[in-house]
């Protein structure tokens, strides 16, 4: 169960075998959270730097908990206290971090390609924790881990992704990973939130309405509407969005009877998903979060354990 | 010496036995801070999340040091970086933290009842580190621990609490704990800072003047005037407040000759307390801080050690 | 190899022997960053508080990594969340931290003398991580460690320091340390950035032009122009500064053929140093950062290990 890469930058170029290996490794870490002593010495003496240029709670915390449960030293660096305010370039900042001999840098940045740029520049392993609207691979992998606990990850499975596809790195990373496994992905979004390239990706079906997307699917992934970005006005009103695209009980009934409902969080209840659905036993939203810690432990372990 | 509760939310419903057990446990942790190696493996492999929705230095640091000296993994989450900015509800945030399998969540929130709401909702133990003007139980317990180092905690003891009682969770938690032990509490505040309910609490005496409150007491607790909230104008001027309610040497002379002086910090020197008094050998203000680490170690140990 | 001081506040009063001992100790820690397991138990059970009143990434991170690789518990306290916003005095804040029984406090503050004030007031060891424009001793020591890897630290060596000498604690600490070792320091700055006292320091030569300063030196230290403070207008324009004082290839050619180029970071590329020079094999700028972790491990070890 070896992962031969230096970095985890995206799911786009992962092979099906690599994805399956990562999920298998994550599975073996899931059990640790159930123990009274949730700690293993796997990465003792290793240094993991969380370099977050965008504010984040859950992803940063998830990585920090994962690192600490592996006994690594976790160092948090956030943009608010960073040298960016002093006008330093990203690569100079990263060169400086590298000089302190970290083993893994987990990076979130608003610019597409930031993690790739860093990874190509330094010796430490890099985990992309979100680069603009491009990729967020650990989110997609934890989503796959969650699906695998309810469904068999193989062709024939149908996943609907509904919401602001254009600005969602979660959608993008899921689309690459799911289609690599031969799973059909239906995407549905208002026209202003749907990138043109979608139609050209093998395995992706663009649906005009949520009803069409939901019909008979095994998995429903609702994306977060970024209310804080609505000055860009991609939709006439939040209320209209909720009415036309939001997941409610009636709409969910179009999916298979045992379809599961996912959301990367944080949810806007009453917008992209009703509380009735979010709190139902069809929702596996909190399982996604639990799986996130295990998945990130696996990623840190596979990347960080190679040097020892 | 067992503490049978899942959470520590307030002192209001603690029994005298529970309070005495907590103090006894804290006493046994006091010695650790004196060691060259200030660390015990008691909570190794446990995860303590500090979830602070209000800015804080000393309380968060005190809990963080306590957790680390118990060998727990301590994770800090503050409102400035949290998902609240993305509009997530408190319970959704907490559900997400729970999904990462923490053992204890230490929470401070500006709303009364926040810690109770969280505790009733999740499996992890919750420590209330301040909910609005309601309770701050570890502060009251460390205050009792401090008093116990100078006086016997039994009926007959008289404690004066002077200042903004209405907005003070410190006062409220102390009043519940002290009166449960049969100790008499005299409260004194400007009328705008004194809640009506005070007169009805058994064991509490409302005094009209600081002089009346201080007469013959064993312990003087001065409360912090929250200068940063004085836009609400609860008092004509800071100078008048200091003149009428501030603790100076003359006023302190009304208390017993061996009375001790306490303050939860941070102090406004020259407002609620003069430097002469704050720096005198009657003041045990820094002992309160030292005791705080030991008390919080005891609380984390008693709550977190039960799962193992 | 004993360091008999309680604190490291500056290089001004260090003896040549003390400096050489600190560098020798740092040398022995350099090797740890090369290990697969970068951790030693030297400060297990010790508490290191990073108290930063000015924003910082690299220095705080360097100290945090150093503390964690020594197995100390590292606690970060920054001004943004600290009690200063509540109007508490520096000494009251520090008294409170001392009451939590830390072993070492690393402090950065914008006021000259802040670290000295704290050190004289508390029992814990204090490391000055920058006090206004006064001293930043660990930076100077890591600079000396870096020089020592390329040159022999003895009289006859010539070091040029070019830039805003007046506002640079890095320059000041380097000047004291270098001249104590008998090394000649040439300083060069625009008149508005050059303090008068410089001319009186034995071993310091004030040069009117960068060309004069660079002529035949072994080491070139370029200082950062603090663009964020340029509202004070110490120079007509950044472009003029770069043209007259910036280090480029032509100017560097005046130094010895094997002269090394240093910069404390973060660099303003194209202002005080061209990218061509900064990225050349003459530059040891990232070695300075690597050496910083080892040097700080040595300092924390020598200060913190004495109590055990």
Identify the CA nearest to C101 among candidates C64, C63, C49: C49
Q: Are B262 and B219 in contact (CB under 8 A)?
A: yes
In a domain, B101, yes or no: yes
Other C-beta atoms closer than 10 Å to the C-beta of A30 total 17
Partners of residue B222 on adjacent β-strands: B162
Cβ contacts of B78 on chain C, cutoff 8 Å: 81
Contact A100 C292 (CB under 8 A): yes
Quick check: is C26 in a domain? yes
A229 pLDDT more than 90: no
Q: Which two tokens stand for residue A126?
A: 């890099």
Residue A145 belongs to a domain: no
Q: Name, in order, each residue with C-beta under 8 angstroms of C27's C-beta and a sequence gap of 6 or more.
A: C145, C294
The nearest alpha carbon in chain C to B268 belongs to C88
Q: How many domains does chain B have?
A: 2
Exposed/middle/buried for residue B202 (C-beta within 10 Å: 0-12, 13-18, 19+): exposed
Q: Please give the structure tokens belonging to residue B55.
A: 């800015």
The 10s digit of each residue's pLDDT in A266-281 is 999 999 999 999 999 9
pLDDT band at A2 (very low <50, low <70, confident <90, very high): confident
Q: What percent of chain B has pLDDT over 70?
A: 94
Contact (CB<8Å) C73/B78: no
pTM: 0.95
Question: How many alpha carbons fall within 13 Å on the CB side of residue B92?
Answer: 20
Q: Which residues of C touch A82 (CB under 8 A)?
A: 57
Flag whether A9 is in a domain: no
Query: C65 is in which domain, residue-wise?
Result: 16-135+289-303
Taking the CB of residue B48, how many other CB atoms lie within 10 A of it?
A: 27
Are A67 and A43 in contact by the 8 Å Cβ rule? The answer is: yes
CB A220 within 8 Å of CB A255: yes
| Residue B274 sits in the same domain as residue B157 | yes
Which of B49, B86, B97, B305 is the best residue to mutate to test the A interface, defined by the most A CB atoms within 10 Å of its own CB? Answer: B86
Q: What is the mean pLDDT of residues B166-187?
A: 97
Q: Tell me whether C96 touches chain B (CB under 8 Å).
A: yes
Instruction: Please list every residue in chain A whose beta carbon sits closer than 8 Å to the beta carbon of residue C268.
Output: 87
On whether both B62 and B181 belong to a single domain, the answer is no
pLDDT in tens, A121-144: 999 999 999 999 999 999 999 999
Query: Per-residue pLDDT for A258 more than 80?
Result: yes
Angle between helix A137-148 and helix A285-304 axes, rounded to 10 deg: 120
A-B C-beta contacts closer than 8 Å: 84
- Across the range C249-262, mean pLDDT stands at 98
Instruction: Tell me how far apart the alpha carbons of residues B120 and B116 are, in angstroms, rounded to a whole number.
Output: 6
- DSSP single-letter state for residue B88: -
| Nearest CB to C57; choose among A45, A81, A95 | A81
Contact B81 A228 (CB under 8 A): no
Distance from CA of A279 to the nearest CA of B (A): 10
For residues B52 and B77, membership in a common domain is answered with: yes
Question: pLDDT at position B229, please?
Answer: 64
Establish how many alpha carbons lie within 13 A of residue A161's alpha carbon, considering only the half-sphere containing its beta carbon: 32
Give the separation between CA B42 and CA C178, rounded to whole angstroms.
Answer: 48
Residue C122: give its domain's CATH number.
Answer: 3.40.50.1370
Q: How many CA atoms lie within 13 A of C300 on its CB side?
A: 37
Q: What value does the mean pLDDT take over residues B285-296? A: 98
Cβ A293–B101 below 8 Å, yes or no?
Answer: yes
Question: Which of A86-90, B190-194, C111-115 bottoms out in mean pLDDT, i.e. has the lowest?
Answer: A86-90
More confident residue, A80 or B58: B58
> Cis omega (within 30 of 0) on the bond before A266?
yes
Asked if the model's pLDDT at residue A58 lies above 70, the reply is yes
> Distance between terminal CA atoms of chain C?
16
A260: its two tokens: 């599961």
Which residues numbered 250-269 in B keep a CB inside 8 Å of some CB on C? 265-269
> Closest Cα to residue A267, out of A218, A225, A215?
A225
Structure tokens at B150: 């100078």
Contact B87 A266 (CB under 8 A): yes
Looking at the structure, tell me whether residues C92 and C160 fall in a common domain. Answer: no
pLDDT tens readout for residues B215-230: 999 999 999 998 766 5
Is residue B5 domain-resident? no
pLDDT of residue A89: 87
Q: Is A232's Cβ below 8 Å from some Cβ in C? A: no
Return d(Cα B169, Cα B179) in angstroms, integer: 15
Q: How far is CA B156 from CA B17, B178, B182, B185, in A?
A: 18, 11, 8, 10
Average pLDDT of the residues in B186-194: 95
* Cross-chain residue pair B266–C86, CB shorter than 8 Å: yes
DSSP A157-217: BEEEEES-GGG-HHHHHHHHHHHHTT-EEEEE--GGG--GGGGGSTTEEEESSHHHHHTT-
Q: In the predicted model, what is the mean pLDDT of residues A189-210?
A: 94
* Terminal Cα-to-Cα distance of chain A (whole angstroms): 16
Strand ranges for C152-215 from DSSP E: 158-162, 184-188, 204-207
Among the partner-chain residues B37, B65, B228, the one whose CB lies closest to the CB of C100 is B65
Burial of C233-247, coded b for 16+ CB within 10 Å and e otherwise, reads ebbeebeebbeebbb
- Does residue B142 lie in a domain region? no
Residue C82 pLDDT > 60: no
The radius of gyration computed from the CA coordinates of chain C, to the nearest angstrom, equals 19
Residues B10-57 have pLDDT tens digits of 999 999 999 999 999 999 999 998 899 999 999 999 999 999 998 888
Phi, then psi, of C237 in degrees rounded to 5: -155, 155
A 10 A CB-CB count for C162 gives 25
A287 touches B at CB < 8 Å: yes
Flag whether pLDDT at B98 surpasses 70.
yes
Q: Are residues A123 and A36 in the same domain?
A: yes
Q: Are residues C174 and C278 in the same domain?
A: yes
Helices and strands, counts by H and E, chain A: 11, 9
Q: Where on the phi/psi map is residue B306: left (φ > 0), alpha (ψ -120 to 50), or beta?
A: alpha
User: What is the spatial distance between Cα B36 and Cα B190, in angstroms, rounded to a whole number?
Assistant: 47
Percent of chain A with pLDDT over 90: 84
Residue numbers in A near B97 (CB within 8 A): 61
Element (H, E) at C165: none
Closest CA to B164 of B240, B108, B219, B245: B245
Q: Closest by alpha carbon to C292, among C32, C128, C59?
A: C59
- From chain C, the residues in CB contact with A75 under 8 A are 61, 64-65, 68
- Strand-pairing partners, residue C158, are C184
Cα–Cα distance for residue pair B135/C251, rounded to 1 Å: 66
| pLDDT of res. A307 | 43
Whether A60 sits inside 8 A of B46 (CB atoms) is no
CB contact under 8 A, B39 and C77: no
- Pull the structure tokens for residue C282: 């003459």
Model confidence at C230: pLDDT above 80: no
- What was the pLDDT predicted at B232? 64
Once rounded to an integer, what is the mean pLDDT over residues C239-248? Answer: 95
Average pLDDT of the residues of chain B: 93
B101 has a pLDDT exceeding 50: yes
CA distances from residue C114 to C64, C79, C134 in whole angstroms, order as listed: 21, 14, 10
How far, in Å, CA of B298 to CA of B27, rounded?
8
**Contact flag C289-A73 (C-beta cutoff 8 Å):** no
- Rounded to whole angstroms, the Cα distance separating B24 from B145 reads 9
Q: Tell me how crowded residue B215 is: count the other CB atoms within 10 A of its CB.
A: 15
Helix (H, G, I), strand (E, B) or coil at C66: helix
Q: Classify residue C166: in a domain, yes or no.
A: yes
Q: How does residue C307 score in pLDDT terms, banded at 50, 70 and 90?
A: very low
User: DSSP secondary structure string, A85-129?
Assistant: GGT--HHHHHHHHHHT--SEEEEEESSTTHHHHHHTT-SSEEEEE
What's the whole-number mean pLDDT along residues A196-202? Answer: 91
Q: What is the CB neighbour count within 10 angstroms for residue C83?
A: 21
Is the CB of B38 less than 8 angstroms away from the CB of C44? no
Going by the DSSP 8-state scheme, the letter that residue A58 receives in this structure is H
Alpha-helical (H) ranges within chain B are 16-30, 58-69, 90-99, 114-119, 137-148, 169-180, 210-214, 238-245, 249-252, 275-278, 285-304
Q: Strand pairing partners for A52?
A: A78, A108
CB atoms within 10 A of CB B234: 17
Q: Which two tokens stand for residue A84?
A: 């960016």
| Whether residue C173 sits in one domain with residue C117 | no
B246: part of which helix (H) or strand (E)? none
Q: Is A227's pLDDT higher than 90?
A: no
Q: Which residue has the tokens 């508080």?
A: C49
Nearest CA in chain A to C55: A81
Cα distances (Å, whole numbers) of residue C37 to A18, A73, A224: 27, 11, 41
Q: Is the pLDDT of residue B307 over 50?
A: no
Q: Do B230 and B120 have their domain in common?
A: no
From CA C82, how far away is CA C73, in angstroms rounded?
19
Interface of A with C in 49-88 (CB under 8 A): 49, 73, 75, 77, 80-83, 85-88
Give dist(CA A277, CA A247) in Å, integer: 7
The answer to whether residues C186 and C262 belong to one domain is yes
C296 and C263 within one domain:
no
Q: Do C164 and C107 share a structural domain?
A: no
Whether residues C93 and B268 touch (CB distance < 8 A) is answered with: no
Mutate to test the interface with C, among A64, A71, A73, A85 (most CBs of C within 10 A): A73
Determine the residue among B42, B43, B45 to mutate to test chain A binding: the one whose Cβ has the most chain A Cβ atoms within 10 Å.
B45
What is the average per-residue pLDDT within C105-120? Answer: 96
pLDDT(A84) > 70: no
For residue C37, give the DSSP letter: S
Q: Tell me how far the alpha carbon of residue C168 is from its chain's centroid.
A: 10
* DSSP secondary structure letter of residue B269: B
pLDDT bin (cut points 50, 70, 90) of residue C213 is very high
C186 shares its domain with C213: yes
CA pseudo-torsion sign C150, C127, C301, C5? positive
C285-304 helix and C58-69 helix, angle to the nearest 10 degrees? 50
Residue C34, pLDDT > 60, answer yes
Cβ-based neighbour number of residue C113 at 10 Å: 15
The verdict on residue C236 lying in a domain is yes
Cα C76 to Cα A77, B82, C105, C157, distances in angstroms:
12, 18, 10, 39
């Amino acid at each position: 169960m070896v992962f031969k890469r230096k970095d985890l930058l995206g799911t786009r170029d992962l092979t099906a075998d690599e994805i399956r290996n990562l999920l298998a490794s994550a599975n073996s870490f899931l059990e640790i959270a159930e123990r009274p002593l949730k700690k293993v010495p796997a990465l003792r003496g290793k240094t993991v730097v969380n370099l977050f240029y965008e504010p984040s709670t859950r992803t940063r915390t998830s990585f920090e908990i994962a690192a600490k449960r592996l006994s690594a030293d976790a160092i948090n660096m956030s943009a608010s206290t960073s040298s960016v305010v002093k006008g330093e370039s990203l690569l100079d900042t990263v060169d400086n971090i590298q000089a302190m001999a970290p083993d893994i840098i987990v990076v979130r940045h608003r610019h597409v390609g930031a993690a790739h740029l860093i990874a190509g520049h330094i010796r430490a392993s890099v985990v992309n924790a979100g680069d603009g609207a491009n990729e967020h691979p650990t989110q997609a992998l934890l989503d796959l881990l969650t699906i695998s606990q309810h469904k068999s990850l193989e062709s024939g499975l149908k996943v609907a992704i509904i919401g602001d596809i254009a600005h969602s790195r979660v959608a993008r990373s899921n689309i690459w990973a799911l289609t690599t496994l031969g799973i059909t992905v239906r995407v549905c979004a208002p026209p202003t939130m749907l990138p043109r390239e979608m139609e050209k990706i093998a395995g992706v079906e663009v649906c005009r309405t949520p009803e069409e997307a939901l019909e008979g699917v095994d998995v429903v992934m609702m994306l977060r509407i970024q209310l804080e970005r609505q000055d860009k006005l991609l939709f006439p009103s939040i209320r209209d969005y909720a009415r036309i695209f939001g997941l409610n009980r009636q709409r969910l009934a179009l999916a298979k009877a045992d379809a599961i409902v996912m959301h990367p969080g944080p949810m806007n209840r009453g917008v992209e998903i009703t509380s009735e659905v979010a709190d139902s036993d069809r929702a596996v939203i909190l399982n996604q979060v639990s799986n996130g810690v295990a998945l990130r432990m696996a990623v840190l372990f596979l990347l960080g354990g190679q040097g020892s």
